[in-house]
Amino acid sequence: MALLELLKQRRSVRDFLDKPVEREKIKLCLEAARVAPSACNSQPWKFIVVDDGELKKRLCDKAFSGIYAINAFCKKAPVIVVIVSERSKFLARIGGMFRGTKYYLIDIGIAGEHFVLQAQELGLGTCWIGWFNERAVKSVLNIPKDKKIDVLLALGYYDQEKVKSGHSREPLDKISSFNSY
Ligand SMILES: Cc1cc2nc3c(=O)[nH]c(=O)nc-3n(C[C@H](O)[C@H](O)[C@H](O)COP(=O)(O)O)c2cc1C
């Protein structure tokens, strides 16, 4: 599929089919994330794939309760991918401090979207999740307390007929210009 068509086809999926996702497909998504660019080639990420039903239930029950219950739809996702934000290389951290830019977040975003787009190509739906109980995720998955988890991804098969088409986005002339602001 042409890239722009794939990009336009992708929507956040919040209703998943009760169908397991093949490990081979998950590995292709991980491979897509692995080759993502990052500041100073820091690769400041670790992807923890949770596809064990029991563990995933425990994770979701804790991560999406209370004030995070708006994301309880994730309980139906067959896979949750936890993206641990690892430490960037020294130069990227110093450069980032100097510039006031969190390069690692840009890196995580690119790698995560590589994962998302590969998933889309394989017929899998995803949803970025930024609102969750980080402490609960760490405790269920034995992630050291000093690590940072900025985002998760929900992943699974979905009913393509049910996904709304067309994005609600600003027009091109509002978000871009040539040669001056
Ligand atoms: C960093 C980030 C965090 C997000 N967090 C959530 C979330 O916690 N829950 C949710 O339902 N969607 C979340 N989304 C999905 C956005 O709401 C969605 O991408 C946006 O509304 C555009 O819709 P589309 O993805 O269907 O094009 C998040 C997206 C990004 C990029």
Residue 79 confidence (pLDDT) = 98
- What is the model's pLDDT at position 2? 95
Q: What is the pLDDT of residue 165?
A: 76
With beta carbons less than 8 A apart as the criterion, state whether 167 and 98 touch. no
CA-14 nearest atom, ligand 1: 11
HSE at residue 84, side-chain half, CA atoms within 13 A, is 17
For ligand 1, atom 6: residue with the closest CA: 129
Work out the average pLDDT over 42-65. Answer: 98
Determine if ligand 1 sits within 6 Å of the CB of residue 130.
yes
Residue range 112-124, pLDDT digits in tens: 999 999 999 999 9
> For 51-56, what is the mean pLDDT?
98
Strand stretches in 113-177, DSSP E: 124-129, 148-157
- Do residues 83 and 153 touch, judged by C-beta distance below 8 A? yes
Mean pLDDT of the chain: 97
- Cα(128)–Cα(78) distance, rounded to whole angstroms? 15
73 lines ligand 1 (CB under 6 A): no
> What is the C-alpha separation between 127 and 67, in angstroms, rounded?
19
| Assessment of whether the complete model's pTM goes beyond 0.85 | yes
Measured from the CB, is residue 9 less than 6 Å from ligand 1? no
pLDDT at res. 166: 77
Round to whole Å and give the CA distance between 86 and 7. 28
How much is the pLDDT for 148? 98
Ligand 1 contact, 126 CB (< 6 A) = no
User: Can you list the domains of the chain with their CATH numbers?
Assistant: 12-160 (3.40.109.10)
Protein residue whose Cα sits closest to atom 18 of ligand 1 = 12
Per-residue pLDDT reduced to its tens digit, 66-102 = 999 999 999 999 999 999 999 999 999 999 999 999 9
Q: Residue with the nearest Cα to atom 14 of ligand 1?
A: 128
